[in-house]
A and B are shown apart, each in its own frame.
Chain A
Amino acid sequence: MSLKIKVAAIASIAALALAGCAQTATPTATAAANSNIKICVYTHSDHGSFWSVFEKGAKDAAQSLGVTLDLQGSNNDAQKQAQTITAGVAAGCNGLATSVPDAGAIKTAVAGYVAKNIPFLTVNSGSDVSQSLGAFTHVGQDEMIAGEQAGLKFNALGVKHVLCPIQEAANSGLQLRCDGLKKTFKGTTTDFNLDGALSDLTKATQTLTAEFQSDSSIDAVFALNADVAAKAVLPAEAAAGVTLKVGTVDMSPEALQAIKDGKIEWAIDQQQYAQGYMSVVLLYLAIVNKNELGGGQPIYTGPGFVTADNVDAVMGLVKAGTR
């Protein structure tokens, strides 16, 4: 079942739920009533290649449901995001989804909102603080679980020693992925400091080459970034003259091509289209039917895996803007 069919199915379930709702008797009344529902999605989006897919998901869901959508990003500025939330809530929202890259900044902004008992969920980042902020659920990917799933994939590949290069030493999410890998992987894992790799990929290549040459037991790499995988790990693999199984997180055109060519085994995809889509649907259900899904737990949109088997389909969906 493709993603589009899946979301269509969810949408129809949502529509059924709505039909079952006593207050909305006829379809026409539903559409009219729905356009009065304003769902606010305020994230730290930079409207880049990642977030544009998320936003398309939210827009598609709002269109299918006929609800009004207020979608705003803050370009990674926590302060600006807090201001957007405050201003948006003052203008009136029936439901709110917000990403929480910085809990401290968001906390005060949503506090007044939560007090009014209006449906609220967190999305993308913030699974750890979601409940304490008063959200009924969190829609996103857990870094630890992504790492755990990667470990299982490496087990299936039959490798013995996975190197986990961390390209941003200060990003705790990356460390969590390596920790998750350690949990489920049966062989040895080694965390490797590759800080600054994205500002000097050729140096990263040489450092990795040296590591591969010095430890011949390494037979796999869990790259935490698609550029690191395609532009540093693969050249280093060739330079060191070794054969490695490479897995990566997130996608880039080169990484997808490398998956197609069999040089990268898989890429973890957090399926952000579904994050945008599901946020709107979940809030809608909470507004019209008082359904609070998730049971107080996060709802995971990932990790999805892009492999040689589905890479062609995914490449098509990337073009369409939904992956």
Chain B
Amino acid sequence: MSNVTDERVKRASVFTKVLSMPEVGAFLGAIAIFILFTNRDTTGNFAGLGGLAGWSDIASTIGMVGIAVSLLMIAGEFDLSSGVMVGSVGLLIGLLVTKLNMNIWLAIVIGMAFAGGIGFLNGWLVIKTKLPSFIVTLATFFVLKGANLAYTMMVTGAVRVTGVDAAPGYQSAFNLFALPIQVGKFQIQMSVFWWIGFTIVGTWVLTRTKFGNWIYASGGDANAARNAGVPVARTKISLFVTTALTAGFVGVIDVLRLQGMQAGQGIGNEFFYIIAAAVGGTLLTGGAGSAIGASIGAVIMGMAYIGIPYSQWDSNWTSTFLGLILFTAVLVNTYIGRKARGGKR
């Protein structure tokens, strides 16, 4: 862009530093998409509270898991079971409270423990077997997908759990995790505030803590990191657990908000999390990325889902549009980053 002078001898300016941050491409993309839909909007709502209430809701659940997936990807691993985990935890909580009359708080604890256990298993298997996490978690994905359907059918005789709102403790849990906040005539979902919190914590861990450095090191060059004393195995397993717990947390929010759960909930969403992370500047090869980038990636997706109907475009093209955004964002991101760092084209 402005780097037309000889960049090899130039000291990195603030401008260069900013441009070489991984989330900058996503941020510029988000602004472009915001302007696009604000101009195409037929309702006059997109740039206002109505639009915000809509896209922030979609972005929040994608963003929360997206951040965890982003951290995991920086460490060089994938988790394809993160989408289905949302459904697994929600269904487990639903079955515990409706069939065993359990207090919902206890059910939430059990549900999260289940998620953590599966996350640990994912990580442990990846480390022990040295198989690609893509394969290990793909297997977990199929196992959970089948179990969600089979177990729900076995217990309830239907493809869904209903009546979670009758559980003891429901209201207090709902208030904490899923209560919508009325702003004017629109409702901002509680998940949005949790998501903002996750973004702050994720960014802090990644940029300000030792564990954050371990994450980058594990994904950059695992052997070099190990030689430098980084506990690579522990770091990766912790990240698998974190990803599963975050997905489980979204499951908690969903089961409280929907007062029940469908056996298919969450399936396919793992791709949205990966898209959010990739659009946000996280490398698929590991070693680089950001937490806030994943949140911005989630915002882009949320805006697309709301902006397309607002613009009265044919909704059949939504996925195509998302695919183009993904490609453009990653391409622009890579290009800007390379230019800003002064590399060759």
Interface residues of A (CB under 8 A from B): 46-49, 52, 169, 192-196, 198-203, 206-207, 209-211, 213-215, 227, 231, 239, 241, 252-254
Q: Which residues of B contact A52 (CB under 8 A)?
A: 157
Interface contact B309-A227, CB-CB below 8 Å: no
**Nearest CB in chain B to that of A169: its residue:** B316
Interface contact A239-B186, CB-CB below 8 Å: yes
Q: Which of A48, A202, A210, A215 contacts B61 (CB 8 A)?
A: A202
Q: Does B268 contact A (CB under 8 A)?
A: yes
Interface contact A198-B264, CB-CB below 8 Å: yes
10 tightest Cβ-Cβ pairs between the two chains A and B: A49-B158, A210-B309, A193-B315, A211-B309, A210-B306, A199-B267, A214-B43, A193-B316, A199-B264, A214-B310
Q: Which of B45, B55, B262, B310 contacts A198 (CB 8 A)?
A: B262
Q: Does B318 contact A (CB under 8 A)?
A: yes
Interface contact B185-A203, CB-CB below 8 Å: no
Interface contact A215-B257, CB-CB below 8 Å: no
Interface contact A231-B258, CB-CB below 8 Å: yes
Q: Does B269 contact A (CB under 8 A)?
A: yes
A207 with B265, Cβ < 8 A, contacts A48-B159, A193-B318, A214-B42 known: no
Interface contact A49-B265, CB-CB below 8 Å: no
**Nearest CB in chain B to that of A194: its residue:** B315
Q: Which residues of A contact B57 (CB under 8 A)?
A: 202, 206
Q: Which residues of A contact B185 (CB under 8 A)?
A: 241
Shortest distance from the beta carbon of B55 to any chain A beta carbon, whole Å: 8
Report, as a range, how many residues of chain B touch the other chain. Answer: 35 or more
Interface residues of B (CB under 8 A from A): 41-43, 45, 50-51, 53-55, 57-58, 61, 83, 87, 153, 156-160, 162-163, 185-187, 189, 254, 257-260, 262, 264-269, 302, 305-312, 314-316, 318-319
Interface contact B53-A207, CB-CB below 8 Å: no
17 A/B residue pairs, CB under 8 Å, sorted by A: A192-B315, A193-B318, A194-B315, A198-B264, A199-B266, A199-B267, A200-B265, A200-B269, A201-B265, A202-B57, A202-B58, A207-B315, A213-B50, A227-B262, A253-B163, A254-B162, A254-B259
Interface contact B54-A196, CB-CB below 8 Å: no
Q: Roughly how many angstroms separate A252 CA and B58 CA in the complex, as a whole number? A: 25
Q: Which of A196, A213, A227 contacts B310 (CB 8 A)?
A: A213
Which of B257, B258, B309 is most buried by chain A, counting CB atoms within 10 A of its CB?
B309
Interface contact A227-B160, CB-CB below 8 Å: yes
Q: Roughly how many angstroms separate A198 CA and B160 CA in the complex, as a whole number? A: 10
Shortest distance from the beta carbon of B324 to any chain A beta carbon, whole Å: 17
Q: Roughly how many angstroms separate A202 CA and B187 CA in the complex, as a whole number? A: 13
Q: Roughly how many angstroms separate A227 CA and B163 CA in the complex, as a whole number? A: 13
Q: Which residues of A contact B307 (CB under 8 A)?
A: 210
Q: Roughly how many angstroms separate A213 CA and B185 CA in the complex, as a whole number? A: 13
**Nearest CB in chain A to that of B305: its residue:** A207
Shortest distance from the beta carbon of A236 to any chain B beta carbon, whole Å: 10
Q: Which residues of B contact A203 (CB under 8 A)?
A: 58, 61, 305
Interface contact A253-B162, CB-CB below 8 Å: yes
Q: Which residues of B contact A254 (CB under 8 A)?
A: 162, 259-260
Shortest distance from the beta carbon of B80 to any chain A beta carbon, whole Å: 14
Q: Which residues of B contact A252 (CB under 8 A)?
A: 158, 160, 162
Interface contact A206-B162, CB-CB below 8 Å: no
Q: Which residues of A contact B186 (CB under 8 A)?
A: 239
Q: Which of B54, B87, B158 contacts A48 (CB 8 A)?
A: B158
Shortest distance from the beta carbon of A269 to any chain B beta carbon, whole Å: 16
A214 with B160, Cβ < 8 A, contacts A199-B265, A209-B54 known: no
Interface contact B160-A206, CB-CB below 8 Å: no
Q: Roughly how many angstroms separate A35 CA and B315 CA in the complex, as a whole number? A: 56
Shortest distance from the beta carbon of A147 to any chain B beta carbon, whole Å: 19
Interface contact A210-B264, CB-CB below 8 Å: no
Q: Which residues of B contact A209 (CB under 8 A)?
A: 54
**Nearest CB in chain B to that of A232: its residue:** B258
Interface contact A48-B254, CB-CB below 8 Å: no
**Nearest CB in chain B to that of A236: its residue:** B54
Interface contact A199-B54, CB-CB below 8 Å: no
Q: Roughly how many angstroms separate A198 CA and B266 CA in the complex, as a whole number? A: 9
Interface contact A207-B309, CB-CB below 8 Å: yes
Shortest distance from the beta carbon of B272 to any chain A beta carbon, whole Å: 9
Q: Which of A47, A202, A210, A239 contacts B254 (CB 8 A)?
A: A202
Which of A196, A198, A213 is most buried by chain B, counting CB atoms within 10 A of its CB?
A213
